[in-house]
Amino acid sequence: MSHNIVEKIWQQHVVQRQAGFPDVLAIDFALLHEVTSAQAFAELDRRGLPVHDPKRFLATIDHSIPTREDRHQVHDPQALKQMTALRENCQQHGIALCDVGSQKQGIVHVIGPELGLTQPGMTLVCGDSHTATHGAFGALAFGIGTSTLAHVMATGALLMNPPRVMQVQFNGQLPQGVYAKDMIMHLIAQIGVDGGTGLVLEYTGQAVRDLSMEQRMTLCNMSIECGAVAGLVAPDQTTFEYLQGRPHAPQGAEWDAAVKHWQTLVSDPGCRYDRSVTLDIGQLAPMVSWGTNPEQAIPINQSIPHAARDQADALNYVGMTVEQAVQGVPIDWAFVGSCTNGRIEDLRVVADILRHRVIDPRVTMYVVPGSEAVRQQAIDEGLDRIFQQAGAEFRQPGCSMCLGMNDDRVPVGARCISTTNRNFIGRQGTGSITHLASPATVAHSALAGYITHPISPMAQQEAS
C-alpha cells in the first residue's frame, strides 16, 4: 500500500483510535511564546496538573518585546506582565526558556529550526498559526489555540481527525529575482484564503527541491494564509545538510539511524492525495499584495484586476482603484523581518541590493533579524553596516512590525511594503496599509521610494 508523507507521520503518532472520537495524536514537541501560553499554564495550575514531560517544550519571548537597542526596558506594563508570567511559568514547570538576552532568543519559528529541534517526521505544535514553518523539514507542524496547548502540556497528545492532504506541485525553474515568497503568494492568489481549509499541503516538484531550507521555511510559513492546517516538504539531502551539527540534532550513530528513518518519509509513488494542484513558476514575476488579505495579490508588473471592484472595502482601505498598477505606488515604510523572511538568507538578499546605495529619504526602513543567531551572523558578515549605510535601521530580534502589539507599528495612514505574511486591516498598526512582498522587492522599493522591482518593465524603462 502506498502512502503520502502525511499519512506516514500520522500513523506513527496515533496513540488511539476510537469510533466517534477524533484520533489521540501524540505530540513530540511544542514551542511556547508569551502571548498564548499564560492561560494554558493557568488551566494546568487550576487542575493541579504538571507538565507531562518538560523537555518536550521550549519557550521564547518574541511577540510583545521592543526591538530597540535598550529593549530590556519594557514600557508597556501589560506586555511586561505577560513576559514575567512566562518566566515564572517556565521556572515553575521546568521548561527551558530562550529569554531576552539569551543567545538563543528569537522568533519561535526561527529558533526551532536553528537549534536543530525541528526534525523530519515529528509532530510539532505551537500556539501560533505560522507553526507550519517547521513543515519545511518534513515535520507535521501546526498551530493550536491555548486550550489545545494545555492539552498537550498536560498529556503530550491532542485530539484530531486525520487531515486531508493536497499535493501542491511547483514545476519549472524560478526566474532570477523571484523567490519562495513569490511562489507561496502566487499559490494563495490562485486558490484563495480558504483554498486550503481542512488540508495539509505537501509542496512537491523540482522547484521545491531546488529551494534552500530558508526558502522552504518561507514557503511553508504562509500555508495558513490559504487556511491550510499545515504545509510540508519531504526531507532530502538539503534538509539533512542543514540539520547536521546543529545543537539538538542527533549525533554519531544516532544521526545515521535518524537519517535512515527520515529517508523513508517521502510520499510513495502512486500514493493518494485528496486534491492536487500544479503551478508552473518558470515565468513567475515578483508578487505584491494590493488589498487587505493575502489572496489579493498580483504580479508586480500587473494592475489591480477589474474584477476587484467587488472588493470595495479593501480598495477603499488601501486607497487604490481597479486597474491601478501596484508598481510606482509611493511607500512610507519598508520592513524586512518576521518568521516569513527574517532569516540570514533573506538579510543577505537585502544587503546585496542595498550595498553602496541609499534608500529614498522619504522611506523609513527597519531590518529586524528573526533571532539573536541571525543578528550575530549578519554582524559577522558585515551586513549590519550595509543596512546602516543605506539608511535602514538594523534592530534587535523579535516579531516587531509583523503585528501591531509591541512598540514597532506602522503609523495611521502610512503605507508599508513588508516581508511579513498578513496584510489584514490594521495588522501592522491601527490604520496602517501593508503590501506583502519578498525581501528583494522590499529592498528595491525602499531604494526607489515606491513599489518596484528591476525585472519589471517600468523599472527597465527608467534604467534605459
Partner 1 sequence: MKSAIKTVRGRSVPMLLDDIDTDIIIPAQYLTQTSKSGYGQHAFARLRQADPDFVLNQPAYQGAKVLLAGANFGCGSSREHAVWAIQEMGIEAVIAPSFADIFSNNAQKNHLPLITLSAADCQRLAQLPPAQAIEIDLLRCTIAAGDAVMSFAINPFFQHVLTAGIDELDHLLAQQAAIQRFHAQQQRRQYFVRMPRGSA
Nearest distance from C-beta of residue 82 to partner 1, angstroms: 5
Beta bridge partners of 143: 126
**Position 47 contacts partner 1 (CB under 8 A):** yes
Q: What does 71 bind: partner 1, ligand SF4, none (CB cut-off 5 to 8 Å by kind)?
A: none
Which CB sits closer to partner 1, 159 or 379? Answer: 159
Complex with ligand SF4: residue 177 or 398, whichever CB lies closer: 398
* Binding of ligand SF4 by 402 (CB under 6 A): yes
| Binding residue for partner 1, selected from 144, 300, 334, 455, defined by CB under 8 A | 144
Rule CB under 6 A: which of 53-92 touch ligand SF4? Answer: 62-63
Partner whose footprint covers residue 361, from ligand SF4, partner 1, none (CB < 5 to 8 Å by kind): none
Cell numbers representing residue 68 in the block: 530597540
> How many other C-beta atoms lie within 10 A of the C-beta of residue 425?
17
- 230 scored as a contact of ligand SF4 (CB under 6 A): no
Is residue 29 involved in binding partner 1 (CB under 8 A)?
A: yes
403 forms part of the interface with ligand SF4 (CB under 6 A): yes
Q: Is 158 in the site for partner 1 (CB under 8 A)?
A: yes
Contact pick of 85, 277, 279, 414 for partner 1 (by CB under 8 A): 85
Nearer to partner 1, 54 or 391 (CB): 54
**Coil, helix or strand for 35?**
helix
Q: Measured from the CB of residue 398, what is the shortest distance to partner 1 in angstroms?
A: 13
- Closest listed residue to residue 243, CA positions, set 371, 116, 140: 116
Total length of the chain:
464
Q: What is the rounded distance in angstroms from the CA atom of residue 36 to the CA atom of residue 280?
A: 38
3 touches which of partner 1, ligand SF4, none (CB within 5 to 8 A by kind)? none
Stretch that binds partner 1, among 124-132, 201-209, 279-287, 433-441 (CB under 8 A): 124-132
Can residue 435 be called a binding residue for ligand SF4 (CB under 6 A)?
no
Name the binder of 338 from partner 1, ligand SF4, none, CB < 5-8 A by kind: ligand SF4
Q: What whole-number distance in Å separates Cα of residue 6 and Cα of residue 18?
A: 20
Give CA–CA dist 131/192, Å, rounded. Answer: 20
Q: Is residue 399 at the binding interface for ligand SF4, with CB under 6 A as the rule?
A: yes
Is 15 a residue that touches partner 1 (CB under 8 A)?
yes
- Taking CB under 6 A as the binding criterion, the range among 114-122, 140-148, 254-262, 398-406 that sits at the site for ligand SF4 is 398-406
CA distances from 180 to 65, 131, 184, 202 (A): 28, 17, 6, 15
CB atoms closer than 10 angstroms to residue 283: 9
Q: Could you tell which of partner 1, ligand SF4, none binds residue 56, using a CB distance below 5 to 8 A set by kind?
A: partner 1
Q: What is the DSSP string of 402-430?
A: GSTTSS--PPTT-EEEESSS---TTTTST
Helices (H), ranges, 192-280: 206-209, 213-221, 237-243, 252-262
CB-based contacts of 139: which residues, under 8 Å, 6+ apart? 9, 118, 119, 120, 121, 122, 123, 124, 232
Per-residue mark of binding to partner 1, 181-220 (x: CB under 8 A): ------------xx--xx----------------------
Helices in 304-382 by DSSP H: which ranges? Answer: 312-318, 338-341, 344-354, 372-380
Coil/strand/helix, residue 186: helix
Q: How many residues bind partner 1 (CB under 8 A)?
A: 89
Neighbours of 253 (CB within 10 A): 8
- 279 contacts partner 1 (rule: CB under 8 A): no
Q: Are the beta carbons of 435 and 290 closer than 8 angstroms?
A: yes
- Does position 82 interact with partner 1 (CB under 8 A)? The reply is yes
Q: Number of residues in contact with ligand SF4, rule: CB under 6 A?
A: 13
Nearer to ligand SF4, 62 or 114 (CB): 62
CB proximity list for 312: less than 8 A, separation 6 or greater:
none
Residues in touch with ligand SF4 (CB under 6 A): 62-63, 107-109, 128, 130, 338-339, 399, 402-403, 421
